[in-house]
Amino acid sequence: MKKITIGLIGLGTVGAGVAKLIRSRSSFIKSKFGVEFELKTVCDLKLDPQFLKALGKVNTTRDYKDIINDPQIDVVVELIGGLHPAFEILKGALENGKHAVTANKAVISNFGRELFQVAHENKRSLYFETAVLAGVPVIKTITEGIAGNQYKGVYGIVNGTCNYILTQMSRNRISFDEAVKLAQQKGYAESDPTLDINGMDSAHKLGVLVMLAMGKFVNVKQDIHTEGITHISAEDLAYADEMGLTIKLLAIAKKHGKDIEVRVHPTLISKTHPLASVNDVYNAVLLEADPLGDVLLVGQGAGQMAAASGVLSDLINCAVDNRQGDQTWIGNNPDEFEKTNIKPIDTIETEFYIRLTVIDRPGVLSKITGILGAHGISIASVTQKEVRKNSAVPLVMLTHEAKEISVREALEEIGKMKEVKAKPVAIRMERR
């Protein structure tokens, strides 16, 4: 029987769930894996006496250094989130000869290269399954399950808050603000949901996926074009539905030879697309693998026990891997020379959905299509949703593939027309 002592830093929602699982699943883990987990010390700035009493015999501290410097602790679990001191905790744990587990997508996407190097040098393991899709094993699938494959594309619905908001807007025909309030009432959105709805949470997760699937460390803020969902209206979702389409906030990475395009934005997809039926707080990642083909992973991407389940899996894998004498520092070789380049968003070509609010007057449409044509943009279809002479009406267009910069410049010009009464809305499309 192998005994593993654990130091847990961060007793928030996920940390409390991990502590509960370690305690409640101890007999199961012993019998199935031959491993005994001991939660030796927990660290948090605010320690709940009632919760600690329920945990039983466990040491407490408010200083994370007490854990990373304790020679009796084998594995450090970091669950405080953010970049600092999370990075210092993980680096310090690895340097002190401890294995490390984290659910922190931001620290892995920003400091993964350095942390992998430290793990490599110290022959220790770094696990982060919960950084993307909580307990759904997308990291394990990429790095081990189908490790012999190369990945041509990665498409993900990786933020449960945004997916819930868009689902409610579409299903119940409510506004964005109403859907946000509903998500907050249900506990699916923070009181300040900015990092979710502006796309940054998805961008960090995409950074982790690109690093693992395509061997490229990306700068999240500089390399990943990121848009949120604040400009999407219930009308856009209704119009999409009429055309047999739906709108999802997608994290997208595609490999083109030595170039990679990485972007996060609302995306129109067909209702027959594998990701179209992933609704509410569920998340999914679609991998285009070669030679296997498409691999779809779906599950709850948030919530206390979903995330805690992923952390527990990492702890079990860490114990089993190291019992066999292997250090599995997940990720690409930190010494690997990166030969791939990030493709600028301006050069990417996609189809577009465009919604304009224009005065219903003869000649307006021809002027708009003239501007689009001058920028090399071909129209696939045009629909005027209402008829109100000399009043503002919605005009919906679908384009053929067009270059990003061309669409942006054309819409800037169209937006200056006196007949256009609101900022143009453009949503990219993905077809399979």
87 and 198 within one domain: no
> What are the tokens at 219?
């700068």
Amino acid 364: pLDDT = 95
Q: How confident is the model at residue 379 (pLDDT cuts 50, 70, 90)?
A: very high
260 and 154 within one domain: yes
Amino acid 320: pLDDT = 86
Q: What is the pLDDT of residues 254-274, one digit of tens each?
A: 999 889 999 999 999 999 999
Task: Report the sign of the C-alpha dihedral through residues 344, 345, 351, 357, in that order.
Answer: negative
Q: What CATH number should be reported for the domain holding residue 6?
A: 3.40.50.720
Amino acid occupying residue 361: R
Residues in contact with 148: Cβ distance below 8 Å, sequence separation at least 6, in sequence order: none
Q: How far apart are CA 22 and CA 28, in angstroms?
A: 10
3-state secondary structure of 432: coil
Cα-based angle 190, 218, 114 (whole degrees, multiple of 5): 95
108 and 11 within one domain: yes
Per the DSSP assignment, residues forming a β-bridge with 359 are: 392
Assigned domain for 336 exists:
no
Q: How far apart are CA 205 and CA 105, in angstroms?
A: 6
Q: How far apart are CA 155 and CA 264, in angstroms?
A: 10
Q: How many domains does the chain have?
A: 3
Q: What is the pLDDT of residues 44-76, one digit of tens each?
A: 999 888 888 888 899 999 999 999 999 999 999
Assigned domain for 63 exists:
yes
**End residue of a domain, out of 293, 323, 353:** 323
**End residue of a domain, out of 301, 336, 364:** 301
Q: How far apart are CA 241 and CA 173, in angstroms?
A: 11
Catalytic residue at 205? Answer: yes
Q: What CATH number should be reported for the domain holding residue 393?
A: 3.30.70.260
Residue 413 near residue 421 (C-beta atoms within 8 A): no
Q: How far apart are CA 111 and CA 134, in angstroms?
A: 20
**End residue of a domain, out of 249, 271, 301:** 301
Assigned domain for 27 exists:
yes
223 and 179 within one domain: yes
Assigned domain for 339 exists:
no
150 and 251 within one domain: yes
203 and 67 within one domain: no
Angle of helix 26-33 relative to helix 304-323, nearest 10 degrees, comes to: 30
128 and 30 within one domain: yes
Amino acid 276: pLDDT = 98
3-state secondary structure of 353: strand
Q: What is the pLDDT of residues 160-206, one digit of tens each?
A: 999 999 999 999 999 999 999 999 999 889 899 999 999 999 999 99
317 and 295 within one domain: no
Q: What is the pLDDT of residues 204-253, one digit of tens each?
A: 999 999 999 998 899 999 999 999 999 999 999 999 999 999 999 999 99
Q: How far apart are CA 358 and CA 361, in angstroms?
A: 8
Amino acid 329: pLDDT = 56
> What are the tokens at 313?
């899996």
Assigned domain for 337 exists:
no
Q: How far apart are CA 307 and CA 300, in angstroms?
A: 9
- Domain residue limits at 407: 345-430
User: Long-range contacts: 175-180, Cβ < 8 Å, 24+?
Assistant: 175/233, 175/234, 176/229, 176/230, 176/232, 176/233, 176/234
Residues in contact with 412: Cβ distance below 8 Å, sequence separation at least 6, in sequence order: none
Q: What is the pLDDT of residues 12-38, one digit of tens each?
A: 999 999 999 999 999 999 999 999 999
**What is the full DSSP assignment across 135-197?**
TS-HHHIIIIITTT-EEEEEEEE--HHHHHHHHHHHHH---HHHHHHHHHHTTSS-SS-HHHH
Q: What CATH number should be reported for the domain holding residue 148?
A: 3.30.360.10
Amino acid 338: pLDDT = 65
**Half-sphere exposure of residue 188: CA atoms within 13 angstroms, side-chain side:** 23
**What is the full DSSP assignment across 313-338?**
HHHHHHHHHHHTT-----SS-TTPPP
Amino acid 325: pLDDT = 58
Amino acid 147: pLDDT = 84
Assigned domain for 338 exists:
no
224 and 286 within one domain: yes
Out of 40, 91, 140, 205, the active site residue is: 205
Assigned domain for 334 exists:
no
CA distances from 122 to 126, 274, 326, 328 (A): 11, 42, 13, 12
265 and 210 within one domain: yes
282 and 238 within one domain: yes
Q: How far apart are CA 332 and CA 116, in angstroms?
A: 8
Assigned domain for 267 exists:
yes
154 and 226 within one domain: yes
- Give the CA radius of gyration of the chain: 24
What is the edge-to-edge ordering of all strands in the sheet holding 99-102?
A: 59-61, 35-43, 2-9, 75-78, 99-102, 126-127
Residues in contact with 150: Cβ distance below 8 Å, sequence separation at least 6, in sequence order: 289, 290
3-state secondary structure of 367: helix
3-state secondary structure of 291: coil
